[in-house]
Amino acid sequence: MENEFADKYEHLLVEERELTQKIATCEQCVTAVLGCIEQHSDSIHLHTVEDVVGLIHTISSDLQTELLHLRLEKSVMTSKLHAVQL
C-alpha cells in the first residue's frame, strides 16, 4: 500500500515540475511578445498582438488552475503517506 502511494506521489511530482515548466514557458512567451512590441510597434497589428497575449495568458491561467488542483491532490497524498508510515 505504501509503495502505491509513493508511486502516485512521485508521479504527481513529475506532473508538478512539468506544469511549472509550462507556466514559465508561457511567461517567457509573453515577455518575448512584449519585446516584439517594443521593437516593431509601428509595423505590427497591435490588436492581434493583444489577442495573442490574451490567449497565452488564458493558457497560463488554465495551467495555474491545473497546478493548484495537483498540489491539493499532492497534499492529500502526503497525508496518506504519513498515515501509512505510522
Residue type, 69: H
pLDDT at position 4 is: 85
CB 70 within 8 A of CB 15: yes
CB 9 within 8 A of CB 73: no
Which are the contacts of 34, defined by CB distance < 8 A and separation ≥ 6? 53
CB 36 within 8 A of CB 44: yes
Fold classification of 2-85 (topology level): Helix Hairpins (1.10.287)
Kindly report, residue by residue over 29-77, the tens digit of the pLDDT.
Answer: 999 999 999 999 999 999 999 999 999 999 999 999 999 999 999 999 9
51/86: higher pLDDT: 51
Enter the pTM of the model. Answer: 0.88
C-alpha cell of residue 85: 508510515
pLDDT at position 80 is: 86
Helices 2-40 and 46-85 cross at an angle (nearest 10°) of: 160
